[in-house]
Amino acid sequence: MAVTAIELRDLRRTYTSSAGLFAQRRVVREALRGVALDVAEGELFGLLGPNGAGKTTLVKILATVLLPTAGTVRVLGHDVVRDAGPVRERIGLVFGGERGLYGTLTGRDTLLFWADLYRLPPSITRRRVDEVLELVGLRDRADERVETFSRGMKQRLHLARGILHEPKLLLLDEPTIGLDPVAANEIRALVRRLNESGMTIFLTTHYMAEAETLCGRVAFINEGQIVLVDSPQALTQAAGEQVVIEASLEPREAARLRAELSGQESITMAERATGDGLISLRVTAPRGRVGALFAALASCSPRRVTMVEPSLEDVYLRLLGERRMRV
């Protein structure tokens, strides 16, 4: 029987702040609203959702940085409120972005610093630091200051720090955010290898393709609530009743098509600029409406039309509503 790495029951987290210049009023915002979730040991689990959905709040609670307002949170069998110490020893935490590093330390000194804080036995510390530097491909630059590293190198160093003490559970909060495609793929390859070696990984991301290729199961979170949990394959198969059409259009025509289709039940759209002055519109609709969809498209003189298999992104858009996707 699989052991539960993460167990959430009716997890709630509210933030209270004050607003107003003269008459201060109390503002209460619910970031998590009754989240229930189980992640088994050995899983690579993805949490997907828009900005402000509660992803980072959830990661911070799992990492004991934030206390839950209500509910139960158990990580590797330990309650994060009562047993924060054992939880901290067994997890690794990696945030995306450049923050979280001392720029004036070298890569090696950074890891030696965290090795002391994670109580690595002194007899193995140097060997382990070399191992993780090798694993993330930073051994050649290990003795240079972190402030001279590229963004991708900093993210790899973050990952090295997160796995230095061989945690049972690794929490990754948008680890590829802001990285170029090559650097992002390097991080994804490392994450996959870590999971294959038996490490449980809880990953939050905006990138649907990342979740689809990496994760065994994903959950969609929106406005502090888990909307759906399943494997990416099951979700995309369930979406097979849908068709996805991608069309490149002049901006004016794209706007006209959006106006024509918006409000129609069961149709979702996402658009992005293609860089050549055109707009790429991705339309998801039930199979029964393909004819009407092509008729509408034909009147807009599209430069290119492609029919593709539904992806996790289409499931996401259908579930969480139409949102503009920026690339």
Partner 1 sequence: MRTSAAWWLRILLAGARVQLSRGRGGNFLLAAVVTPVFYAVVLVLMARYFGRTSELAPFLVVSPALIGVWAGAILTGAEAVADERGSGTFELLIAAPAPTELVVLGRVGTNTLLSLIAIPLVVITGQLLGAQLAIVDVFAAVLALLGLAISTMAITLIFASTFVLARTTRVFQNVIGFPLYILSGIAFPLALLPDWAQVLSTLVALRWVGELLRAAIRGDSAGVLVPALTAIATLALLYGASGHWLFSRIERAVRANGQVSLGQ
Burial-class residue 243 by CB neighbours within 10 Å (0-12, 13-18, 19+). Answer: buried
Residue 169 near residue 93 (C-beta atoms within 8 A): no
Among 36, 79, 118, 216, binds partner 1 (CB under 8 A): 118
Among 27, 70, 103, 290, binds partner 1 (CB under 8 A): 103
117 belongs to the binding site for partner 1 (CB under 8 A): yes
105 belongs to the binding site for partner 1 (CB under 8 A): yes
Give the binding-site size for partner 1 (rule: CB under 8 A).
32
Alpha helices in the chain (DSSP H): 55-62, 84-90, 107-117, 122-135, 151-163, 181-196, 208-214, 232-238, 251-261, 290-298, 312-320
Among 50, 71, 77, 100, binds partner 1 (CB under 8 A): 100
Residue 26 near residue 39 (C-beta atoms within 8 A): no
**Can you tell me the distance from the alpha carbon of 191 to that of 210, in angstroms, rounded to the nearest whole number?**
11
122 belongs to the binding site for partner 1 (CB under 8 A): yes
Other C-beta atoms closer than 10 Å to the C-beta of 286 total 13
> How is residue 286 written in tokens?
């039930």
The residue among 119 and 304 lying less far from partner 1, judged by its C-beta, is 119
82 belongs to the binding site for partner 1 (CB under 8 A): no
77 belongs to the binding site for partner 1 (CB under 8 A): no
Other C-beta atoms closer than 10 Å to the C-beta of 305 total 15
113 belongs to the binding site for partner 1 (CB under 8 A): yes
34 phi, psi to nearest 5 deg: 75, 50
**Across the beta sheet with 78-79, what order do the strands follow?**
25-40, 4-19, 70-75, 78-79
Among 82, 119, 193, 252, binds partner 1 (CB under 8 A): 119
> How is residue 24 written in tokens?
């201060």
294 belongs to the binding site for partner 1 (CB under 8 A): no
Among 38, 71, 114, 185, binds partner 1 (CB under 8 A): 114
124 belongs to the binding site for partner 1 (CB under 8 A): no
Among 2, 9, 116, 148, binds partner 1 (CB under 8 A): 116
> DSSP assignment, residue 3?
P
Instruction: Give the distance from CA 271 to its chain's centroid.
Output: 21
109 belongs to the binding site for partner 1 (CB under 8 A): yes
Looking at 97-105, 128-136, 232-240, 247-255, which segment touches partner 1 (CB under 8 A)? Answer: 97-105
The residue among 102 and 290 lying less far from partner 1, judged by its C-beta, is 102
Amino acid identity for residue 324 in this structure: R
- Matching residue, tokens 């070399």: 130
CA Rg, the chain, in Å?
22
Looking at 96-104, 236-244, 272-280, 294-302, which segment touches partner 1 (CB under 8 A)? Answer: 96-104
95 belongs to the binding site for partner 1 (CB under 8 A): yes
99 belongs to the binding site for partner 1 (CB under 8 A): yes
147 belongs to the binding site for partner 1 (CB under 8 A): no
**Window 177-236: residues binding partner 1 (CB under 8 A):** none
**Can you tell me the distance from the alpha carbon of 117 to that of 246, in angstroms, rounded to the nearest whole number?**
51
**What's the closest the beta carbon of residue 102 comes to partner 1, in angstroms?**
6
Q: Where do contacts with partner 1 occur on this chain (CB under 8 A)? A: 15-16, 60, 63-67, 85, 88-89, 91, 93, 95, 97, 99-105, 109, 112-114, 116-119, 122, 161
